[in-house]
């Protein structure tokens, strides 16, 4: 090798050594530093070692993890703290992204010495922790749904609107929060799911349009020929019910209640009522009054017509009703099949001549005459006679009041009660209510008599047989020197053997002897200065017992005991 060649080679080697030395020097100066111009989220970290850069980033950026992220939905908002929600910063990764770290790459060494740029801090998300944090905020955005309501009050519609239920969509909101954090945003729009309530405004609209509005649009008119009845909208509203059924509100009418409430209005249809066969006296015999069918509007037919018209409009709110024939309870055929009526019980009592007796007893007999008692019917003398007033045809006569004879309108009427009681007694009818006089009068059978006083004492008995009965009553008026009499006869079909009463009249039941015992007397009473005082002879008191006997095929098949205790009547002495 020539000397010149050696010089050249030496020069080259020298240069290489010089460059290599400079390169090594540069590495030791910048090879483990963050580029001079580097920063992360505004924090300058250029020229620092990676560890120094990391510490600086953590010191200056970690407070941001306590700055809340706001979750918003309408007027509701709440805060989510990143540090408590699985959100964080990766400072090491951020330093590396900024160019920090050992490198022999000449370009990296050059960049470290002369360059660098701003980078975003590397963010970390613990998905499960974030979801849990978001879910914990969900109740703050929850809104319960409210059903729409509708009802009828005072004939008007009262309604309230529905409110949808609202609930956070946790999955979507978590994803949005994650994206917002990764993008460095501080606000998150919460995803909200809405659920309509069980009863919606649309359901209310539907029932109001198709049921309530027609219902209240006017009266429902039911017709029968030219006759008619009206049901006012207010009455329809009171009978209306609105109920949720599935996805609908269904309107209905309580037609049973409406049928009951419109009883008076139904009279406008002028329906004829069925009349059972009955009986009357004609030419001394009981003859049949034929039954007649009637018309009836059944609850079912009423409901069908009302329901049809109630939700219609205009002329369709007027509709005819279908009537059914109402058969009488007791038909002509049943009456005539009984055959001829006979007397099953009768009784006659006499009275001394007194004009008031002729009037009052005659009025009572005519009022009772022709009364029909169907099986099970209960007869009331007070109901039949009414008040014994002058306007009702009665005159003043004697009555017993607190052990004394005094004059009142309708006096002597108790003789009709006694006579009728005995007729019913011997007919075998059930004794419901009777009260003998407090004082005994010899013209009546002891104990087997009755008194009445309107409003307090009544004579009532029941036709407890299976056959209808009719009562015949009449008087033979008294005159001067001639006694009068009142007679009642009960006509029917016999249930027991017919016999004779103690006066020889027809009887379906008989009476044992009237056994008197325990006699006692009253006292003398002097009444002074009473212009209405009536002198009275003493009347003996005693107890009487007897039985009513029923016979079948000649044998006694039933016994009914009776007893009564008479008061002793004081002797009344009137003095001026």
Q: Give the total residue count for the chain.
A: 576
| Per-residue pLDDT at 470 exceeds 60 | yes
Q: Given this model, what pLDDT does residue 23 score?
A: 40
The per-residue pLDDT for 197 is: 93
What's the mean pLDDT when you consider all of the chain? 88
Confidence check: pLDDT of 195 > 60? yes
Give the residues across from 124 on adjacent strands.
88
Which of 22-36, 169-183, 300-314, 421-435 is least confident? Answer: 22-36
Taking only the tens place, the pLDDT of each residue in 141-157 is 999 999 999 999 988 99
The larger pLDDT score, comparing residue 559 to residue 186, is at 559
| Contact between residue 57 and residue 51 where contact means Cβ atoms under 8 Å apart | no
3-class secondary-structure state, position 516: strand
Q: According to the model, what pLDDT value does residue 16 have? A: 44
pTM, entire model: 0.58
| Residues 68, 70, 76: CA angle, nearest 5 degrees | 140
CA separation (Å) from 572 to 30, 404, 406, 527, 533?
152, 8, 12, 7, 8
How far apart (Å, rounded) are the C-alpha atoms in residues 352 and 350?
7
Cα 100 to Cα 54: distance, rounded to the nearest angstrom: 10
């Amino acid at each position: 090798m020539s000397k010149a060649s050696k010089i050249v080679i030496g020069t080259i080697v020298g240069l290489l050594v010089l460059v290599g030395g400079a390169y090594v020097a540069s590495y030791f100066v910048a090879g483990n530093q963050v580029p001079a111009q580097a920063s992360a989220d505004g924090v300058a970290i250029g020229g620092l070692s990676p560890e120094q850069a990391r510490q600086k980033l953590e010191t200056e950026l970690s407070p941001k993890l306590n700055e809340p992220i706001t979750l918003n939905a309408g007027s509701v908002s709440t805060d989510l703290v990143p540090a408590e929600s699985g959100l964080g910063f990766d400072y090491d990764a951020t330093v590396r992204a900024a160019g920090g770290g050992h490198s022999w790459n000449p370009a990296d060494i050059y960049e470290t010495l002369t360059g660098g740029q701003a980078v975003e801090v590397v963010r970390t998300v613990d998905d499960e922790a974030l979801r849990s944090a978001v879910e914990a905020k969900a109740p703050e955005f929850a809104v319960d749904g409210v059903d729409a309501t509708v009802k009828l009050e005072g004939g008007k519609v009262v309604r309230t609107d529905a409110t949808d239920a609202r609930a956070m969509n946790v999955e979507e909101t978590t994803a949005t929060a994650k994206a917002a954090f990764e993008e460095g945003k501080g606000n998150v729009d919460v995803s909200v799911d809405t659920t309509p309530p069980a009863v919606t405004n649309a359901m209310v609209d539907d029932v109001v349009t198709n049921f309530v509005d027609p219902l209240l649009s006017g009266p429902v008119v039911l017709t029968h020929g030219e006759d008619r009845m009206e049901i006012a909208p207010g009455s329809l509203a009171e009978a209306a019910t609105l109920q949720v059924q599935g996805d609908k509100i269904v309107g209905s009418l309580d037609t049973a209640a409406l049928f009951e409430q419109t009883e008076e209005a139904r009279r406008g249809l002028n329906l004829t009522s069925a009349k059972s066969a009955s009986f009357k006296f004609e030419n001394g015999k009981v003859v049949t009054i034929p039954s007649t069918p009637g018309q009836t509007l059944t609850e079912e037919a009423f409901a069908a017509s009302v329901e049809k018209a109630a939700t219609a409009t205009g002329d369709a709110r007027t509709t005819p009703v279908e009537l059914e024939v109402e058969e009488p309870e007791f038909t002509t055929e049943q009456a005539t099949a009984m055959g001829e009526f006979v007397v099953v019980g009768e009784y006659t009592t006499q009275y001394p001549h007194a004009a008031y007796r002729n009037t009052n007893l005659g009025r009572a007999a005519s009022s009772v005459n022709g009364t029909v008692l169907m099986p099970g019917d209960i007869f009331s003398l007070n109901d039949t006679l009414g008040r014994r007033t002058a306007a009702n045809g009665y005159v003043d006569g004697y009555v017993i009041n607190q052990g004394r004879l005094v004059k009142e309108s309708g006096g002597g009427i108790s003789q009709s009660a006694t006579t009728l009681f005995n007729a019913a007694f011997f007919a075998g009818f059930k004794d419901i209510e009777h009260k003998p006089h407090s004082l005994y009068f010899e013209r009546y059978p002891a104990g087997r008599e009755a008194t009445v006083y309107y409003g307090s004492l009544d004579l009532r008995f029941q036709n407890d047989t299976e056959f209808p009965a009719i009562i015949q009553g009449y008087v033979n008026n008294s005159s001067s020197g001639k006694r009068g009499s009142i007679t009642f006869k009960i006509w029917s079909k016999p249930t027991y053997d017919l016999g004779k009463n103690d006066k020889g009249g027809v009887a379906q039941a008989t009476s044992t002897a009237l056994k008197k015992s325990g006699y006692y007397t009253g006292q003398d009473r002097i009444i002074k200065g009473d212009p209405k005082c009536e002198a009275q002879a003493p009347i003996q008191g005693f107890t009487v017992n007897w039985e009513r006997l029923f016979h079948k095929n000649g044998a006694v098949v039933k016994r009914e005991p009776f007893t009564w205790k008479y008061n002793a009547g004081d002797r009344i002495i009137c003095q001026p």
